[in-house]
Structure 1
Amino acid sequence: MSLIYLNGDYVPHEQAKISVFDRGFLFADGIYEVVPIYNRQPFMFDGHMQRLQNSLHEVGITPPLSSNEWRSILTHLLTEEALDHAILYLQITRGSEFPRNHSPSPDIQPTVMAYLVPFTPPVGEPTPVRVELLEDIRWLRCDIKSISLLGNILLKLQSTAGGAQEPILHRAGRITEGASCNYFIVKDGVLITPPADSLILAGLTRQHVLKLAADAHIKVREAAFSTAELYAADECFMTSATREIIPVGQVGQEVIGNGQCGPVTRTLIERFRASRPR
């Protein structure tokens, strides 16, 4: 039975209920975070908490819990669920009020929820995947980890309908990110990823990969790159909290490099797995 933390209580998932007037339900007015757990230890927990605080600040929601309180909730859930590897999903909405109103009351109380799902850490060399180049139709504050993900969902559905695992998005020919991942390319030994501006959600996995690359003396450049540069890359890979590092062998019908997991990608996969909590 999955246990849910909801507004200070721990309840079975089938008993977890919120008001139909919750602004998360009505307006997607809220923030979420996803934290991978390895061997009962949260990975990059402080970074995830900092991003959560940043997103809450950007949308004007007062943080309802401290980092230590979130850690206590995680510890309780891990104990009750008896999981070694898991994904922590947490969500904070602005709260509920009646009647529905675009402008929230100043004294509204946030709705706070968290739960764990089992997670199997990747092993072995991942098979290169195909992604689909699509126009980025989302809003211009992608740096906020908002629960308003309709644009991401539509793009994900469009790409998977064509047999791709993920879209790779562009704005006027400039690559941004995926529906649920960040992207890197390698050209002439240089690792390149789009800058952490408002057009992408700068993932904690992305950040960790940049550090691993620097530690491995791989030259790194955070800079915008075009669709033409994507097609001309020697290697390409995606990163996310749940998938870690996945090589991209094909964009649409175009093969990237030789279509296989390249040497830089392989090095970073090995270093990433060696850095996971043990």
Structure 2
Amino acid sequence: MNETNDATRPLAPARAGTLVAIDGEVMALDEARVPVTDRGFLYGDSVFETFRSYGRRAHALDRHLARLERSAAALEIALPVGPEGLREEVRGLLGASEDERRVRLMVTRGDAPALADDGARRVILAAPFAGHPPELYARGVEVCLVQGARSHAQAKAGSYLVSVLAAREARARGAYEAILVDGEDVLEGATSNVFVVCGDVLRTPAAGVLPGVTRGIVLELAADVGLRVEEGPLEVEALRGADEAFLTSSTREVMPIRAVDGAALGSGEVGPTARALLERYRETVPSRLD
């Protein structure tokens, strides 16, 4: 059964009611225009963040802006405005909304030559977002393993081809999410991070993965639910043999995994640790709202 999958949506937010801000100017989606010479369009020469609102307030915005700065520095893209300017633009867009939003904040190198240090363009899209279906959290999701690794994994870059192709493979195989693996090592999801639970130990890959914002929050919350954390290599067999496993991302929060490549994980049902972490995550959301 095909389940709702985020992986094809980062570049295609829901159209109805989507608001856009381009270089600080707010407009409806059908009015938004970016030149075809923009390097983000031509080459994926851009960085971005995706996050959601709760109560029309951005969640963990400080963390997302900090990662955007790190990604831009890694790709040598000069941000056109500072974090506070971006924060105000996000607030303005959410303030113009009447419902919850999934926000994509993108900075491209603009129309400048590749070696230029100015001319960057910023685009913010805020699409209506009602959250994921509750039944996915209740029954868990199926994932499939796909060989592949992102270049510049430490930067959230717009060149997302590896993830897009992995997501398409997952859809073709009837899975909710693709898990990227390098040989026998688990890396990350196409649009998520991966955790496994073995007894009272929470394990997650550390090398070759994007340091997800939600991943970081979950690591901080692990002790609250009685877990010890181990960051390091994670073998495919450790994933297959785990008591529990789950995905994390800004829109999914903590999404339990029930099966890998069609084989049940653990009991095949959502386990107590994933439930406890999801509950704790949601309890602490208000403390991270901007």
Same topology, TM > 0.5? yes
**Matched-pair contact (CA < 8 Å) for 1:96–1:108:** no
CA 139–206 in structure 1, closer or farther in 2 if over 3 Å, else same: closer
For 1:236 and 1:94, locate their aligned partners in 2 and report how far apart those are by CA, in whole Å.
Answer: 38
**Matched-pair contact (CA < 8 Å) for 2:44–2:159:** yes
Shift of 1:108: 4.1
1:2-81 correspondence runs (5 A) = 2-81=18-97
Please identify, of 154-163 and 67-76, the stretch whose mean Cα deviation from structure 2 is larger.
67-76
For 1:194 and 1:239, locate their aligned partners in 2 and report how far apart those are by CA, in whole Å.
Answer: 13
Secondary structure of 2:50 counterpart: strand
CA 187–32 in structure 1, closer or farther in 2 if over 3 Å, else same: same
Match of 2:230 among 198, 216, 221: 221
**Matched-pair contact (CA < 8 Å) for 1:2–1:81:** no
Residue identity in the other structure for 2:101 = A
CA 132–2 in structure 1, closer or farther in 2 if over 3 Å, else same: closer
Does 2:93 correspond to 1:82? Answer: no
Match of 1:258 among 263, 267, 279: 267
For 1:126 and 1:64, locate their aligned partners in 2 and report how far apart those are by CA, in whole Å.
Answer: 43
Secondary structure of 1:183 counterpart: strand
1:268 aligns with 277
How many equivalent residue pairs?
A: 269
RMSD (CA atoms): 1.7
**Matched-pair contact (CA < 8 Å) for 2:177–2:190:** yes
1:107-256 correspondence runs (5 A) = 107-121=117-131, 123=134, 125-136=137-148, 138-195=149-206, 197=207, 199-256=208-265
Provide structure 2 residue ranges, at least 5 long, that are not aligned to the other structure. 1-16
TM-score under structure 2 normalisation?
0.88
For 1:276 and 1:154, locate their aligned partners in 2 and report how far apart those are by CA, in whole Å.
Answer: 32
For 1:104 and 1:217, locate their aligned partners in 2 and report how far apart those are by CA, in whole Å.
Answer: 49
**Matched-pair contact (CA < 8 Å) for 2:18–2:128:** no
Please identify, of 65-74 and 226-235, the stretch whose mean Cα deviation from structure 2 is larger.
65-74
Q: Which of 1 and 2 has greater Rg?
A: 1
TM-score under structure 1 normalisation?
0.91
For 1:200 and 1:252, locate their aligned partners in 2 and report how far apart those are by CA, in whole Å.
Answer: 21
For 1:65 and 1:126, locate their aligned partners in 2 and report how far apart those are by CA, in whole Å.
Answer: 42
Seq. identity, %: 32
Secondary structure of 1:276 counterpart: helix
Measured against aligned partners, the alpha-carbon deviations of 1:13-33 in whole angstroms (never above 9, x if no partner) come to: 112111111101111100011
For 1:239 and 1:220, locate their aligned partners in 2 and report how far apart those are by CA, in whole Å.
Answer: 15
Does 2:111 correspond to 1:96? Answer: yes
Secondary structure of 1:175 counterpart: strand
